[in-house]
Amino acid sequence: MSATVTQQELARRLGVTQMTVSRALTGKGRMSEATRQRVIALAAELGYRPNGMARRVQEGRYRGMALLGSTVRPSYNIMEQELWMAIHDALATEGWHLTASYMDASKLDQPAEIAGLLDRLLADAVMVHDVGPRSPEAAPMLARHRVPAVWLNSGRESDAVDFADAQGAEDATLYLLRAGYRRPALLLNGDPAESTAHCSTVNRALGYRKACQKAGIPPRLVFLPMDAPDRQRAQQFLLARRLIGEGQRPDAVLCYAAMTAYHVRLAAAEQGLRIPDELGLMTFAKPGDAFLDIPISVCELDYANLGREAVRLALAKIADPATPLPQTLVPLKIVPRATTRAC
């Protein structure tokens, strides 16, 4: 098929107006059936292909959404494959397309960057993934420019989809306690008291403390530095000295991520501690991310469900941009140690 054949060319050959050709091809408007069939037959013969994007521009709808990530925090902002595919598939069932893009989070505070954002991305709304606290004006800026926006994994209280990290951490801690451990510790990436702390760090600390309070035990939190020159060495040192030192050491560790659990395992081996007999081990992870060569319990992060909920919320936001929508929390699932083993 040729992309150069236009409605104007069809009209010229048939001796009719471009409006007549448009109506014949779209099935709209009145005309004789003979004229309609002449237009359709010539369009098929010449390989006419309608300009869908032009039509969508005229209608004011692209039938597309943009998934935006920030370059400010690449260690957090990895667009998980499960998330991307779930959003893509959910949109495809509605006949919509997905555009994925990265931008500096600070640009979301700049009017020049927001103006025309939807036109540049060929989208009707944006899904902003994991921007965090470094662009405080982003939400009002997008609202002023009438950009329907949904926030993923960013800790916003409205127009947002997040993991139920607080409830997940509480459930995971109580699971360790029910398994017979009495001194579970929480190992976090960064200090939740810092203004730049990710929402997952803050909420997991809250859930862990709540579980400890319910059980009547003191919380044991360890914060790993986010900017250590040699992170692996720093993690192993902290784990060996602070977690698995002398005295009332923790008898179980709930880790922020699977990589953190890997370093706990190394530190435990250096100390001669057997997992899970002498040290329980559990981690937050996406499905299939427990890559250790030992059984390990997992508090699963369902990125596919996060994506589907984001699409649902974004479509609702397009339908009613002015009304704030309540935050949606995606539950976490506890996968017991006996059923989770590394590949």
Write out pLDDT tens, residues 154-166: 888 899 999 999 9
Residue 72: its pLDDT value, please? Answer: 58
Report which of residues 302 and 236 the model is more confident about: 302
Domain 64-163+304-330 has CATH 2.60.120.10: no
pTM score, whole prediction: 0.79
Fold held by 7-50: 434 Repressor (Amino-terminal Domain) (1.10.260)
Residue 44: its pLDDT value, please? Answer: 81
Provide the pairing of β-strand 97-103 with 64-70.
Answer: parallel
Residue 174: its pLDDT value, please? Answer: 96
Q: Is the pLDDT of residue 55 over 80?
A: no
Residue 1: its pLDDT value, please? Answer: 40
pLDDT tens for 109-145 read 777 778 778 878 888 999 988 766 556 777 888 888 8
Domains 7-50 and 165-302+335-339 are alike in CATH topology: no
Provide the pairing of β-strand 297-300 with 333-335.
Answer: antiparallel
Domain 165-302+335-339 has CATH 3.30.470.20: no
Q: Is the pLDDT of residue 70 over 70?
A: no
Residue 246: its pLDDT value, please? Answer: 55
Q: Is the pLDDT of residue 79 over 50?
A: yes
Mean pLDDT of the chain: 82
Report which of residues 51 and 310 the model is more confident about: 310
Q: What is the C-alpha end-to-end distance of the chain, expressed in Å?
A: 48
The strand pairing partners of 184, in sequence order, are 252
| Residue 173: both structure tokens together | 């801690």
How far is it, in rounded angstroms, from Cα 234 to Cα 35? 78
Residue 339: its pLDDT value, please? Answer: 44
Structure confidence at residue 173 as a pLDDT band (50, 70, 90): very high
Structure confidence at residue 228 as a pLDDT band (50, 70, 90): low
Q: Is the pLDDT of residue 23 over 50?
A: yes
Most confident stretch, 68-72, 94-98, 101-105, 173-177: 173-177
Residue 2: its pLDDT value, please? Answer: 47
Q: Is the pLDDT of residue 300 over 50?
A: yes
Structure confidence at residue 340 as a pLDDT band (50, 70, 90): very low
Residue 213: its pLDDT value, please? Answer: 97
What H or E segment, with its residue span, contains residue 160?
A: strand 160-163
How far is it, in rounded angstroms, from Cα 26 to Cα 35? 13
Q: By the 8 A CB rule, do 167 and 332 touch?
A: yes
Per-domain residue ranges for the chain? 7-50, 64-163+304-330, 165-302+335-339
- Please state which of the ranges 176-190, 258-272, 314-328 shows the lowest mean pLDDT: 258-272
Q: Is the pLDDT of residue 95 over 60?
A: yes
Residue 189: its pLDDT value, please? Answer: 80
What H or E segment, with its residue span, contains residue 66?
A: strand 64-70
Q: Is the pLDDT of residue 248 over 90?
A: no
- The residues, any chain, with a CB within 8 Å of residue 8's CB and separated by 6 or more, are 18
Residue 60: its pLDDT value, please? Answer: 52
Residue 51: its pLDDT value, please? Answer: 58
